[in-house]
């Protein structure tokens, strides 16, 4: 069966059909898939059945796998590069991370100096309702900025706070942030150039404790609030409703994502990998 790329009718995302990711593919097919990924920012492969080792092998076609030490307790046996995302508890202990609550809009690990370029999720168990993951096209959001905001973001850098995770929980050992100017984390250009596509995208990370360097806090808050109100318009969003067997890869350099909450009494189990990234460069 021939591989086909079917774009969603939203601002980003495409489904790739005619492919079994557990089998070998030739180099030109992978090049085509990577090209589609650069054009559509998020790719969906339905009906896949990948053991953790195969998920890692798939992910490696997009770069070098990132093995995150904090994942130590939540990876399937023998595959430290795969993280379990789940609300399920076995013998009273969580089998994975992120629970059942909302994961607010964010870009993965933007509080690192070299944030991951991509993340991959494979759905093993999904609830009947809730737990959808939505994505935002940050190229388009940048290109559509009104002229005054275009000027306001030019040359700016933002501190991406590392103390809270995307569920709003303080990370173990992290300080409570009382002044955004003192928040720990990494500083990145507010507009970054994608190293492969050459396009400029807004790079916001997450809203909590973000700070535009050098501005009075009030001005930084106003600018960030205006930018977030702009990017969260439905016209930049694609919402994905999960089915068992879905594999999704997204590009953290030009998208943000959010997971909606779901019923704690239901089960959601995903396997996740991420690909090492590069230091963001200013556009």
Return residues touching ligand SIN (CB under 6 A): 85, 98, 103, 108, 119, 121, 133, 166, 257, 259, 270
SS3 content of the chain, % helix, strand, coil (to 5): 25, 30, 50
Residue whose CB is less far from ligand SIN, 108 or 161: 108
The pair phi, psi for residue 142, each rounded to 5°, is -70, -45
99: Cβ–Cβ under 8 A, 6 or more apart, which residues? 87, 167, 264
Residue 77 is given by DSSP the state: T
Q: How far is the CB of 53 from ligand SIN (least distance, A)?
A: 21
Q: Within 79-164, where are the H helices?
A: 138-143, 147-153
Q: How far is the CB of 43 from ligand SIN (least distance, A)?
A: 15
Q: How far is the CB of 265 from ligand SIN (least distance, A)?
A: 17
Residue whose CB is less far from ligand SIN, 136 or 283: 136
In angstroms, the CA 171 to CA 127 distance is 27
Q: How far is the CB of 258 from ligand SIN (least distance, A)?
A: 7
Residue whose CB is less far from ligand SIN, 157 or 239: 239
Q: How far is the CB of 278 from ligand SIN (least distance, A)?
A: 20
Residue whose CB is less far from ligand SIN, 221 or 260: 260
In angstroms, the CA 279 to CA 192 distance is 10
143: nearest Cα among 238, 231, 211: 231
CB 271 within 8 A of CB 121: yes
162: nearest Cα among 83, 220, 109, 199: 109
Residue whose CB is less far from ligand SIN, 16 or 85: 85
Q: How far is the CB of 65 from ligand SIN (least distance, A)?
A: 16
First-to-last CA distance in the chain? 40
Residue whose CB is less far from ligand SIN, 98 or 227: 98
């Amino acid at each position: 069966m021939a591989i086909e790329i079917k774009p969603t009718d939203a601002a980003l995302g495409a489904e790739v059909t005619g492919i079994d990711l557990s089998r070998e593919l030739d180099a030109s097919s992978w090049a085509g898939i990577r090209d589609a990924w650069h054009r559509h920012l998020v790719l969906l492969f339905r009906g896949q059945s990948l053991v953790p080792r195969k998920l890692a092998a798939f992910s490696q076609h997009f770069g070098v796998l990132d093995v995150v030490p904090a994942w130590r307790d939540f990876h399937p046996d023998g595959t430290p590069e795969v993280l379990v995302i789940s609300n399920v508890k076995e013998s009273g202990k969580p089998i994975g991370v992120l629970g059942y609550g909302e994961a607010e809009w964010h870009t993965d690990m933007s509080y690192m100096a070299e944030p991951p370029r991509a993340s991959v999720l494979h759905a093993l168990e999904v609830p009947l309702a809730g737990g959808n993951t939505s994505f935002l096209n940050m190229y388009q959001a940048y290109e559509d900025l009104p002229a005054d905001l275009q000027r306001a973001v030019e040359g700016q850098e933002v501190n991406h706070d590392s103390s809270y995770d995307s569920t709003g929980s303080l990370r173990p050992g992290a300080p409570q942030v009382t002044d955004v100017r003192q928040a720990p984390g990494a500083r990145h250009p507010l507009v970054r150039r994608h190293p492969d596509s050459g396009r400029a995208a807004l790079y916001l990370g997450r809203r909590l404790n973000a700070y535009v360097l050098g501005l009075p806090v009030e001005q930084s808050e106003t600018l960030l609030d205006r930018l977030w109100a702009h990017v969260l318009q439905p016209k930049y969003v694609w919402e994905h409703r999960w089915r068992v067997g879905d594999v999704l890869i997204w590009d953290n350099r030009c998208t943000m994502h959010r997971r909606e909450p779901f019923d704690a009494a239901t089960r959601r189990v995903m396997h996740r990998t991420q690909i090492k990234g590069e230091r963001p460069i200013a556009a």
